[in-house]
Amino acid sequence: MGDYERSATVEAEPGVLFDYLSDVENLPHYFAAMRSAEPAGGEKVHTVAEVEGTEREGDAWFTAEEESRTIRWGAPGPHDYSGELEVTGAASGSQVTVRLHTEHVEDDRIERGLEETLDAIKRNVEQGADPAAP
């Protein structure tokens, strides 16, 4: 079993950051392996991701709780994959914390993925980058 956690400070107001992160269509712009994500009704999200060099398509669940500024997600399958992203206020803007759980314990690929995700969030939000740009 693997549990992973990483945090970063982002120079943005917590509500603005949460709004960006909780928009399902922005997922591919900050989650390293995600290629596309589309709402599929209710808590369902249809996703396409690249995992270990293989494109995987499927449905996941995704919830965003505005009051606690917490996003939770998961996907059915043999690895019991789920995660949580939390936005809190910080002295210089916001702190974003990402937590992942999976039964599939890997080497450092998950840690690298978390770092890439936090780097993309910081870059997109702080630099006002167009998240749809390649």
CB atoms within 10 A of CB 96: 28
Domains annotated for the chain, with CATH where assigned, are 2-24+61-126 (3.30.530.20)
**pTM of the full structure:** 0.86
63, two tokens: 């919830």
Q: What is the pLDDT of residues 87-106, one digit of tens each?
A: 999 988 999 999 988 876 66
Q: Looking at residue 130, what is its pLDDT?
A: 45
User: How high is the pLDDT of residue 77?
Assistant: 73
Q: Which of 26, 110, 104, 13 is nearest to 64 (CA)?
A: 26
pLDDT above 70 coverage of the chain, percent: 90
pLDDT band at 11 (very low <50, low <70, confident <90, very high): very high
